[in-house]
Amino acid sequence: MEPKESMALLQGQAEIWQHLYGVVDSMALKCAIELGIADIIHSHGGPITLRQIALGIDSPSPHIPYLARIMRLLVRKNIFTEHRHPPDGGETLYGLTQTSRWLLRDVELSLVPMVLMRYHPWQLAPLHYLSHCVKEGGTGFKKAHGCEIWDFASKNPEYNNIFNDAMACTTKIVMAAILAEYKDGLGCVGSLVDVGGGTGGMIAEIVNAYPHIKGINLDLPHVVAIAPERPGVSHVGGNMFDAIPNADAIFMKWVLHNWSDEHCMKILKNCRNAIPKKGGKVIIVDVVLEKESNDLFGETPMALDLCMMAYTAGGKERTELEWKKLLEEAGFGGYKIFKIPTLTSIIEAYPD
């Protein structure tokens, strides 16, 4: 075997090993959140020793050698910093990075609830059925849990809360990007329905920024049943497949990617019927999939697409051509895509 071919084969082996143990990286990340490591470091206002981290862990006798091994991996992954051999000859200090700042709990923008949901056994189990989905069709979620995800959430309050917390944290992150980059898109809207708005966090943020907007949060009855009162927002329990309240504009964040084209067609037609033919619009916040992209978020959209395959009946991430076809078939005359600094984009769809 030629040296170049041998090196290429070895590189291939190394990449498989990295994929094989990539799950351990994820579990170490989950471990860091469960132990509150980022919060402990943050509470000291700067880098601290391993023993100081251990003292902050909710345990009478944390195992410091195990903690050291967890930290070694997380430093390698740039989750935390390691300051070795300090000038005064003291112990190694561990600090936060721009990555671990997203693992803080008591901050406005945090990914903690999303990480805890993504790595919960309930959420991981369907991914073990991807090959079954390919062979047999159907959803990994139903194969793992005996029912579809929305039925599971309606019958399981604990899962429902975990899911809603995760959606709420991503809502804040996406909302920050929208309010910063989409200012012209909401200024002239008098009333706005957030379809599938969960407990109303997103529409509340919009109404807070644009007090003239009459906000309506539409979601399933069991979801809005636990939604808190929010100024300027009315909660409506209903089904987007049946009808959507009338408004100047309809807003949907990470809704359509949960559904097949056929289901999306029903939702979009209901949206079109709920807005004025002149001046009305549907604001879709979702991933626009690019097969080859140098985007900051890399391959995450493609991984998210496989999650949709595992968790939903027909849900998927869509390319611009797929969005164009879907909107045209639903009766929309035009659309525009706006890039914003987060995982999703904004797609404006117009009835005329």
Which residues share a beta bridge with 285? 253, 346
Structure-token match 């943020």, residue found: 205
DSSP code at position 295 = -
Nearest Cα neighbor of 197 from 214, 217, 213 is: 217
Point out which residues pair with 49 in neighbouring strands. 93
- Choose among 120, 118, 119, 98: nearest CA to 109: 98
CA dist 141 and 124 (Å) reads 9
Q: Which helix (H) or strand (E) holds 175?
A: helix 157-181
The gap from C-alpha 66 to its chain's centroid, in whole angstroms, comes to: 30
Q: Which residues face 219 on adjacent strands? A: 237
Alpha-carbon distance 13 to 19, whole Å? Answer: 10
Four-CA torsion 226, 228, 233, 234, nearest 10 degrees? 40
Q: Is 257 a catalytic residue?
A: yes
Catalytic residue (choose from 44, 212, 257, 263): 257
Torsion 172-177-183-184 (CA) sign: negative
Catalytic residues: 257
